[in-house]
Amino acid sequence: MGRSLWRVAASSIVVAGFACLCAQPAWAKTVTATVKGQTTCTVGSFGTFACPLTFAVSYPSSVAAGSSVSVTANETLTLPTSVTNALFKACCRSIDGTATTDNVYSSDATPSPFNMAAPSGIPIPLANIRDGHPVHLRFPISATVTAGAAGTETLTAGELDGTLDLYALANGGDGPPYTITLTCSVPSPPVVLATVKVK
């Protein structure tokens, strides 16, 4: 494709709180989809739990070899009632945090893995904890990698690590939080975030 066939697609990519526009080939279409999976997370000293994951993703259907592949998504990590009941019994009423590692793996692009949370982390917005109800932790993610040779490029979700801040009152009330670690494994079975044709 010659340069005359390239255009700027009106797709926003959020990286560390800033929005930018990425160039896509004129023949590329934007794919949007919702993909789901499951990871295993260790939540501080409360234990290890199976946690559902959901990604509302957007990515180009095709790119040129050696060009950028940009994937954006809204990620939701659900803490099931087995987690929230334990937190509630420990007098925790709201939660937020920071993702410090959120890897995406690529079949042929570089770098792989790509840490979407680097270098400053991704804030996890505040959510209230209710006894007997799951908590959905939602936050935006994005990855930009360089496509390899012609063929099919697959990007899959990887590890998710960070910290969670627990508050004694709803809406983040009652002073400084109690901070615990969050460590989540690579989803199993694999969660495919994007399948891109490389020309």
Residue 99: what pLDDT? 98
Rounded to 5 degrees, φ, ψ at 7 are -140, 165
Q: Which two tokens stand for residue 134?
A: 């799951």
DSSP 3-state assignment of 25?
strand
Q: Which two tokens stand for residue 28?
A: 């590329």
The count of domains in the chain is 1
Domain with 174, as residue range(s), is 3-198
Give the integer Cα–Cα distance in Å for 158 and 88.
29
Q: Which residue's entry shows tokens 């006894």?
A: 131
Q: Tell how strand 192-198 and strand 151-167 pair up.
A: antiparallel
Residue 36: what pLDDT? 98
Query: What CATH number is attached to the domain comprising 91?
Result: 2.60.40.2270
Residue 28: what pLDDT? 62
Residue 173: what pLDDT? 87
4: left (phi > 0), else alpha (psi -120 to 50), else beta? alpha
Burial of 166 from C-beta contacts in 10 A (0-12 / 13-18 / 19+): buried
Instruction: Split the chain (199 residues) into runs of 10 and give each run's mean pLDDT.
Output: 37 37 60 98 97 98 95 98 96 97 97 96 97 97 96 97 97 91 97 97
Residue 13: what pLDDT? 33
